[in-house]
Amino acid sequence: MVDLIQLLVGGIAQGCVYGLIALGFVLIYKATEMVNFAQGDLMMLGTFVALTCIGTWGMSYWGGLLAAALAMAVFGFLLDAIVLRRIIGQPQFAVVILTISLGFIMRSVAGFIWGTDTLNFPDTPFTNQISEVAGVVLSWEHLSIILGTVLGGLIIGVTETLAARYLPPGFKEIVAYLLMLIVLMLRPHGLFSTLQRKKV
């Protein structure tokens, strides 16, 4: 039972990261109607920058977090101004190929700078702490998007963790895709979506 609880906690933590990345996808698409496949790689770079600020340069946790956020804001602005804005008006396929290519470049650069070994943050203010998070009231439309996105990330995170522990090798790598196929077959419009019909 203790082992199962530890797996669930680890899966939930991993699922929160997935949910945060997915929420970024949703917000970008809702605002621009463009799909940015480099979203996860941008988050990866921000994490490595924060790790460098805190673990290598000795900055405080909050100072390193702020420095990483500012650095990624500048990087995101330059990426948008120099690269992404040049393909506005082009077919959606061009945006997909460009952002996938940017993701490959970011992963290669990150591997060259920080290596491929597992790195860990030093102790944070949240280590062994219990925090209470206040709720935010949103409209159902926005809330359903957020809930579906975060819940999807949590489900994938927990399922991957349990699959790695209890299922044969290889299932961890495919379980997320199996879940996506099931959701697309059963709830193609989203976990909490409602169909709206328009007369034209």
Is residue 130 a part of any domain in this protein?
no
User: What is the C-alpha to C-alpha distance for residues 23 and 20, in angstroms, rounded to an integer?
Assistant: 5
Number of domains in the chain: 1
Q: Is residue 186 part of a domain?
A: no
Residue 46 falls inside a structural domain:
yes
Confirm whether 105 is domain-assigned.
yes
Q: Render the burial of 70-99: b for 16+ CB within 10 Å, e for the rest.
A: ebbeeeeeebeeeebeeeeeeeeeebeebb
Q: DSSP readout, 109-134? A: HHHHHH-SS-------TTTT------
pTM of the model: 0.62
104 domain-assigned:
yes
Two tokens at 111?
Answer: 């591997």
Helix (H, G, I), strand (E, B) or coil at 181: helix
- pLDDT tens series, the chain, 200 aa: 667 777 777 777 777 777 777 777 777 777 777 778 888 888 889 999 999 998 889 899 889 999 999 999 999 899 888 888 888 778 888 888 888 899 999 999 999 999 888 887 776 766 665 544 444 444 444 445 566 667 777 788 888 888 888 888 777 778 877 887 887 777 766 666 654 454 54
CB 17 within 8 A of CB 153: yes
For the chain, how far is it from start to end, CA to CA, in angstroms? Answer: 57
Within-domain flag for 132: no
User: Any idea what the Cα angle at residue 176 is, between residues 170 and 21, rounded to 5°?
Assistant: 125
152 assigned to some structural domain: no
Is 147 part of a structural domain of the chain? no
The domain containing residue 62 runs over which residues?
38-120
Q: How far is CA 123 from the centre of its chain?
A: 22
Helices (H) and strands (E) counted in the chain, each on its own, are 6, 0
